[in-house]
Amino acid sequence: MKRTIPILVVLAALLAAMAVVNPFFLEPAGFLAFVKRAAPLVILAAGQYFVIVSGEFDLSVGSLVTVEVVVAARLIDGQESATWWVLLLLVAIGALVGLVNGLVTTLLSVPSFITTLGMLLILSGAVFLWTGGAPRGALSQAFRVFGRGDLGPVPWSVVILVVVAAAAVLLMRADFGKRLMATGDNDRAAALSGVRVARTRILAFVLSGLAAAVAGILLGGFAGVSAQVGQGLEFSAITAVVLGGVVLGGGRGSVVAAMAGAFSLEALFALLNLYGISGPLEYTVQGVIIIAAVAAGAAQFPSRLRAST
Amino acid sequence: MSGHGPPPVPTGERRADGGPPPGRRAGRPDGPRRTRAGRPAAGVLKEIDPTKAVYVALAATLLGGWLLVAIDGGDFLTTETIVGIQQRSAALGIVAVGQTLAILAGSLDLSVAYLISLSSLVAAEVMAGRDGAILPAVGAVLAVSALVGLVNGTLITRLRVHAFIATLGTALILRGVIDHFYDGPAGSVPVSFQSLGYDRIGPVPVAALLWAAVAVAAWVLLRRTRTGHRIYAVGGDPEVARLSGVRTGRVVVLTHVLCSVCAGIAGLLLAARLGAGAPTVGTDGGYDLESIAAVVLGGTALAGGRGGVAGTVGGVLLLAVLDSVFNQLEVNSFFKDVVRGVVIVAAVAVYALRGRKRRAA
- Structure ipTM: 0.84
Give the model confidence (pLDDT) of A245-300 as tens digits: 888 888 888 999 999 999 999 998 888 888 777 677 888 888 898 888 888 877 65
Residue A16 lies in a domain: no
The 8-class DSSP code of residue A149 comes to -
Residue A303 resides in a domain: no
User: Does the pLDDT at position B39 exceed 80?
Assistant: no
Instruction: Give me the residues paired with residue A154 across strands.
Output: A151
**pLDDT greater than 60 at residue B138:** yes
CB atoms within 10 A of CB A46: 30
Domain span holding position A56: 42-241+248-258
User: Looking at the complex, does the CB of residue B139 fall below 8 Å from at least one CB of chain A?
Assistant: no
Query: Does residue B33 carry a pLDDT above 50?
Result: no
Measured distance CA(A140)–CA(A148) in Å, rounded: 12
Instruction: Please report residues of B whose CB lies closer than 8 A to that of A294.
Output: 161-162, 165-166, 169
Bigger pLDDT: B142 vs B88: B142
Residues of chain B numbered 182-211 and touching chain A (CB < 8 Å): none
Could you tell me if residue A149 is inside a domain? Answer: yes
Is B164 at the interface with chain A, CB within 8 A? yes
Tell me the sheet residues that pair with B201: B204
Per residue, the 3-state secondary structure of chain B, as one string, reads CCCCCCCCCCCHHHHCCCCCCCCCCCCCCCCCCCCCCCCCCCCCCCCCCHHHHHHHHHHHHHHHHHHHHHHCCCCCCCHHHHHHHHHHHHHHHHHHHHHHHHHHCCCCCCCHHHHHHHHHHHHHHHHCCCHHHHHHHHHHHHHHHHHHHHHHHHHHHCCCCCHHHHHHHHHHHHHHHHHHHCCCCECCCCHHHHHHHHCEECCEEHHHHHHHHHHHHHHHHHHHCHHHHHHHHHHHCHHHHHHCCCCHHHHHHHHHHHHHHHHHHHHHHHHHHHCCECCCHHHHCCHHHHHHHHHHHCCCCCCCCCCCHHHHHHHHHHHHHHHHHHHHCCCCHHHHHHHHHHHHHHHHHHHHHHHHHHHHC
Instruction: Give pLDDT, residue B150.
Output: 97
Q: What is the DSSP string of A55-119?
A: T-----HHHHHHHHHHHHHHHHTT-GGGHHHHHHHHHHHHHHHHHHHHHHHHHS---HHHHHHHH
Q: What is the mean pLDDT of residues A72-101?
A: 92
A104, A125, A294: residue with CB nearest B349: A104
The alpha carbon of residue A242 is apart from the nearest alpha carbon of chain B, in Å, by 8
Report the pLDDT value the prediction gives residue B48, as an integer from 0 to 100.
61
Q: What is the pLDDT of residues A115-150, one digit of tens each?
A: 999 999 999 888 888 887 778 888 888 888 888 888
Between chains, do B162 and A294 touch, taking CB under 8 Å as contact?
A: yes
Say how far apart CA B171 and CA B174 lie, in whole Å.
Answer: 5
What does the pLDDT read at residue B173? Answer: 94
- Would you state the pLDDT for residue B155? 95
For B180-223, write each residue's pLDDT tens digit: 999 899 999 999 999 888 888 888 899 999 999 999 999 999 99
Q: CA A200 to CA A58: how far, in whole Å? A: 15
Does A271 reside within a domain? no
A249 and B179 within 8 Å at the Cβ level: the answer is no
pLDDT at res. B142: 97
**Per the domain annotation, does A142 fall within a domain?**
yes
Supply the pLDDT for residue A140. 86
Give the orientation angle of helix A4-21 with respect to helix A255-274, to 10 degrees: 30
Residue A196 has what pLDDT?
94
List, in sequence order, every residue forming a beta bridge with A155; answer none if it has no partner. Answer: A150
Query: Phi and psi at residue B186, in whole multiples of 5°?
Result: -145, 160
Q: Please indicate if any CB of chain A lies within 8 Å of the CB of B302.
A: yes
- In this prediction, residue B295 has a pLDDT band, given cuts at 50, 70 and 90, of very high
Residue B2 has a pLDDT of 39
Q: pLDDT for A41-54, tens place per residue?
A: 999 999 999 999 99
CB of A204 within 8 A of CB of A187?
no
pLDDT of residue B30: 38
Of B6, B169, B238, the CB nearest to A306: B6
DSSP-based three-state secondary structure for A285: helix
Average pLDDT over residues A192-219: 95
Q: Does residue A37 lie in a domain region?
A: no
pLDDT band at A40 (very low <50, low <70, confident <90, very high): very high
Query: For residue B21, what pLDDT is reported?
Result: 41
For residue B52, how many other CB atoms are within 10 A of its CB?
Answer: 17
Average pLDDT, chain B: 84
State residue B22's pLDDT score. 42
Indicate if the pLDDT at residue B287 is higher than 60.
yes
Residue B7 in this model has a pLDDT that exceeds 70: no
In a domain, A180, yes or no: yes
Any CB–CB contact under 8 A between B334 and chain A?
A: yes
Domain total in chain A: 1
Q: Is pLDDT at B144 greater than 50 in this prediction?
A: yes
To the nearest whole percent, how much of chain A has pLDDT over 90? 51
B328 touches chain A (CB under 8 A): no
Which stretch of A57-61, B123-127, B198-202 has the lowest confidence by average pLDDT? Answer: B198-202
Q: Is B340 on the interface with A (CB under 8 A)?
A: yes
| Cβ-nearest to A291 among B161, B339, B344 | B161
Q: What is the pLDDT of residues B230-276, one digit of tens each?
A: 999 999 999 999 999 999 999 999 999 999 999 999 999 999 999 99
Instruction: Give the distance, in angstroms, between the CA of residue A307 and the centroid of all CA atoms in the same chain.
Output: 27
The residue-averaged pLDDT of A184-188 equals: 91
Higher pLDDT, A305 or B357: B357
Q: What is the mean pLDDT of chain A?
A: 88
pLDDT(B303) > 80: yes
Least confident of A78-92, A256-270, B24-38, B101-115: B24-38
Distance from CA of A42 to the nearest CA of B (A): 19
Domain-embedded: residue A292: no
Radius of gyration for the alpha carbons in chain A, expressed in angstroms and rounded: 19
> With 90 as the cut, is the pLDDT of residue A162 above it?
yes
What are the tens digits of pLDDT across the range A65-80? 999 999 999 998 888 8
List the single residue in B with minimal CA-CA distance to A252: B10
| Residue B3 pLDDT class (50, 70, 90 cuts) | very low
Give the end-to-end CA distance of chain A in Å, rounded to a whole number.
23
User: Could you give the angle at which helices A255-274 and A233-243 cross, rounded to 10 degrees?
Assistant: 110
> How many Cβ atoms sit within 10 Å of the Cβ of residue A134?
10
In B, minimum Cα distance to A191 occurs at B13
Which residues of B fall within a CB distance of 8 Å from A109?
Answer: 14, 349, 352-353, 355-356
B284-316 residues labelled b (16+ CB within 10 A) or e (exposed):
ebebbbbbbbbbbbbbbbbbbbbbbbbbbbbbb
What span, in angstroms and rounded, lies between the C-alpha atoms of A285 and A297?
Answer: 18
- The stretch B66-72 carries a mean pLDDT of 86
